[in-house]
Each structure stands twice: as structure tokens, then as C-alpha cells.
Amino acid sequence: MVRRARRINRILAETYPQAHCELDFDNPYQLLVATILSAQTTDKRVNLVTPALFAKYPTPADLAAANPADVETIIQSTGFFRAKSKSIMGMAAALCERYDGEVPGKLKDLVTLPGVGRKTANVVLGNAFGVPGITVDTHFGRLARRFGWTTQTDPDKVEAEVGSLIPKSEWTMLSHRLIWHGRRRCHSRRPACGACPVAPLCPSYGEGPTDPAVAGKLVRSDAEALDEK
């Protein structure tokens, strides 16, 4: 199991050498806000609204003191905008009250902030602080189960079981690779099995079309993948 998992990780690293967080950000605060906003929407949609949001509220203090209606207007297209506005403004206020307006670099501190769970915390730790973390979103969970790395559906249990198979130093990049693979090839309904570089190692091979020509038409470009939640 460990050898197969690490081989899959290596193949995905070769397939997606450019894999990275597809949310645009310049600092930990921006990434934290963008990740909270990304729930139930696409990274592309978030990237369309955050420039205006950060231009108007460049610091946590600015966001914490904002008019909620103004924030809601800016982020409305991301969906669930009232709840998200409450979360990002509450998070910003907590940063100011507890951490002098700075995003903490520890998991135990991040998960105490409004709107921040382990998934969001690991995104921020891995991509803004260089602290290894596994991001179990819908793509990661689906692929981990298809690869036979886990049978769990609870994100925390998936994180623990996959983490036992892959070296900690690889956790952040593994997360990117699985998310990229899930958005581009290993789709939830019709995975492109016949165009998959890890097909020989995948116990779920055959869930999607195995004919290379048919499967090839299911492969999404980077631009198309950004429209995936």
C-alpha cells in the first residue's frame, strides 16, 4: 500500500509539475480570506472577486471595521455571501483581537478563528507558511478512496490515513496534485480512466471510459479545470 501510494504520488508529480494553489493571494491574510470564500464555489469565481475586496480592505483591521452590506455586495457571486461575510469579518476581528492583526502560523490557533476548519487551516499553513498539511477537499477525498488509500469519508480520518502513507514533506504538494488530477482527469462522474497516467496502479480503473480516444475527450485543460468546485 505504501509503495503504491508513493509511486502514484511520484507519477502525479511528473504529470503536474506546475501544480499549485489556484487561489490568487499575496500574503497569509489574503489566502485565508480566499479559502473561506472558496467553499461551495470555484477558485475562478473567488479570484474574480478578491481583487476588489482586498483593494477596499487591505488589512484584517479594515475588513473587521467594514460595513457588512458592502462586503456582501462584493462577494455576492461566490454564493452563501451573508454567511461568508460574517465568517471573514469575524475572522478578521479575531485576528485583530488575539493576534495583533497577523495570521497565526499554527494549526491549533487557526482553527479557533471563525470560518476556519482543518481544511482551510492546512491550505494556509502549506501555501503561506511552508508548513506541510493535507487539504481534504471533495477531489482529494474522492481520489484517496479510488486509489484505495482509505475507505473513510470523514475528512479528518482521510487526512490521518493518507498522512500515514506519504512522507510529511510531501503533504502539501500531494494535496495540490490530487486536486489537480481530480479537476482535470479523475472526475466524480466520468473519470478519464483511459487517459490516466496512474491507471496501472489504480484499483478503481474502469469506473470511467477506458478507451484512450473516448477518455481523452474528458480531460480538461487548466482553464476548464478552474471552473471545477
Q: Residues 106, 119, 154, 156: which is the catalytic one? A: 119
The closest alpha carbon to 57, from 82, 23, 91, belongs to: 91
Of the pLDDT bands very low, low, confident and very high (cuts 50, 70, 90), residue 66 is very high
Q: Is the pLDDT of residue 22 over 90?
A: yes
pLDDT (average), residues 36-54: 96
At 71 the pLDDT is: 98
Q: Residues 24, 62, 137, 229: which is the catalytic one? A: 137
Long-range contacts of 92-97 (CB under 8 A, 24+ apart): 92/33, 92/57, 92/60, 92/61, 92/62, 92/63, 92/64, 93/60, 93/64, 95/29, 95/60, 95/64, 96/60, 96/61, 96/64
At 228 the pLDDT is: 82
pLDDT (average), residues 118-141: 97
At 227 the pLDDT is: 86
Q: Is the pLDDT of residue 229 over 90?
A: no
108 is catalytic: no
At 59 the pLDDT is: 98
pLDDT (average), residues 139-151: 98
At 226 the pLDDT is: 86
Is-above-0.75 flag for pTM? yes
The closest alpha carbon to 133, from 169, 91, 181, 179, belongs to: 169
Alpha helices in 68-166 (DSSP H): 68-75, 81-99, 107-110, 118-128, 138-146, 155-163
State percent of the chain over pLDDT 70. Answer: 100
Of the pLDDT bands very low, low, confident and very high (cuts 50, 70, 90), residue 151 is very high
pLDDT (average), residues 51-79: 98
Alpha helices in the chain (DSSP H): 2-15, 28-37, 43-56, 60-64, 68-75, 81-99, 107-110, 118-128, 138-146, 155-163, 171-184, 212-216, 222-225
**Buried-state track 134-169, b at ≥16 Cβ within 10 A, e below 16:** bbbbebbbbbbebbebbebeebeebbeebbebbeee
Reported as a single tens digit per residue, the pLDDT across 80-114 is: 999 999 999 999 999 999 999 999 999 999 999 99
At 171 the pLDDT is: 98
211 is catalytic: no
Q: Give the chain's domains with CATH numbers.
A: 1-229 (1.10.340.30)
